[in-house]
Amino acid sequence: MEKKLTESIEDYIETIYLESQKHGKGVRITDVALELKVSKASANDAVRKLKELGYVEHERYGQIYLTETGKSRAVKVYEKHRLITEFLVKALDVSLANAEQDACGIEHIISD
């Protein structure tokens, strides 16, 4: 069983995954900070933690790349988010904007 990550770390790993899928390459600290609306220092601290956990590869001032373990974990987080969003929209008729926001909170409290 995988170690439970904090909500914040899950948000970072999901964001790195989505940004890398969008651009087809590594991600910059600046992009992560902008997407999550946090300071570059906060993003840098989180990326350092992800590197310690073995989820990303990152050299100072370089791009961030998910490791195979990181990508696997990020896909799980993203799929939970996507499925919860879809359920809220289709089954409960929640607006997409609200479903996205609600899914972000729910994905962190349900089991893997």
Ranges of each domain in the chain: 7-106
Tell how strand 64-66 and strand 56-58 pair up: antiparallel
pTM (whole model) above 0.85 = yes
- The pLDDT tens digits of the residues spanning 14-54 come to 999 999 999 888 999 999 999 999 999 999 999 999 999 99
User: Which among 17, 31, 6 has a CA at the least distance from the CA of 73?
Assistant: 17
CATH 3.40.1190.20 applies to domain 7-106: no
- The pLDDT tens digits of the residues spanning 37-96 come to 999 999 999 999 999 999 999 988 899 999 999 999 999 999 999 999 999 999 999 999
